[in-house]
Structures are given as C-alpha cells and as structure tokens.
Amino acid sequence: MGGGGSNEVPETEEERELARVAGDKWNDYVGRYIPFENEFIQRIEVTNQDRDNLRGIATAGVNSAFGKARQNVVNQELQAGAKPGSGRFDGALERVLKKQGRSLGYANTDVNNDMNEQQVRGLESAISIGRGKEADAFRGFGELAADAHSQAVSDAESASTRSLGNARAVGTLLGGATRLYNSDTKPEDSPANG
C-alpha cells in the first residue's frame, strides 16, 4: 500500500502572502484599536462613587416627594379632626412612612439594576466595536436618576391619595353608624311622648 513519503504539503507563495497580510492586520488592530477599546471600557465602568451619587439623587427625590405627601396627610387628618398623637393620626402617618421606605428601597434597587445594565450594554458595545460593528447607544446617569425620581413622585401621590381615601371611608362608616343609631331610637322612647 503506500510507501513512506512525507505527508507535509509545502506552503505556496499565496498562502505565505495571506499569512503575512493577516499578521499585518492583526498588528494594526493591536496597535490602533485596542488602546481605544481599553479607554472606552474604562469610561463605561461604573464606580462606587457613581453608584453613591445616583443613589443620593434617588433618595433626595423620594424624600422630597414624600415630604409633600406627609404634609398632605397631616393637613387632611387635622381638617378631619384627628389630634396629633392619636391612633388615627399616627396610623395615617405611619402608612405614608412605610410607603416611603418601600419606595426608597425600590428606587435604590432600580438605580443599581439600571447601572448594572448600563455597564453590561457598554461592555457589549465595546465588543461590537472590536468586531467592527456599530455600538449601541446607552442611557446617561441623569436619565437613570430621573426614572427613580418619577417613580418616587408617583408612589408619594399614591400614598397621599390612599390615606385620604381611607379617611373618607372611615368618615362614611361613622356617618352611617350614627344615622343607623339615630333611626333605631324610637319617638315613643322620648320623654315628650311618655
């Protein structure tokens, strides 16, 4: 069956030229593009200071929105005749404060999640650039903070409205109970008919 010759196929001139061209392109890429990719990656990296700044902005937005909601609840309770320190008054404030705490937690979680997504999108863009593709646009930090603030305002308005609705429901219930009590009192029970 076959004799013992070499299995090596000699490289052709065209193959050597293709290898040289590929090597030149690789060296050009390493020299030109990798420094830009590295700089781009450093710019999209989210630092702890970035996170702290955005959490601070989100926290300020939540506190501002709920400060107005708390004041609305205080005004509503005082107008309804509730005394500061009473169970009704304290309960209404406690509901708003709990809602504020939840909103603050959600806002900070959303900021962290959005910043993580931002960094991932940036890294994906860096990879795309390395592959010669167009990089995707991504949101700025200000937009992330604005989203958290908008949610906080919505939560605060909801908490304030819910408290007012609860106060109206209690008032309606008390009014109905009073009317029912008065209708159960028969005229023959009064001293004038006795």
- What is the Cα–Cα distance from 8 to 30, expressed in whole angstroms? 32
Q: Is residue 10 situated within a structural domain?
A: no
Q: Is residue 135 situated within a structural domain?
A: yes
Q: Is residue 27 situated within a structural domain?
A: no
Tens digits of residue pLDDT in 131-165: 665 544 444 555 555 666 666 667 666 665 655 55
Tens digits of residue pLDDT in 58-105: 888 888 888 888 999 999 999 999 999 999 999 999 999 999 999 989
What is the total count of domains within the chain? 1
Give residue 112's domain range: 46-181
Whether 145 and 58 have beta carbons less than 8 Å apart is answered as yes
Q: Is residue 191 situated within a structural domain?
A: no
CB atoms within 10 A of CB 173: 10
The model scores a pTM over 0.85 = no
pLDDT at 114: 85
Query: What one-character DSSP code corresponds to residue 86?
Result: S
Q: Is residue 137 situated within a structural domain?
A: yes
Q: In the numeric block, which tokens belong to residue 24?
A: 């030149």
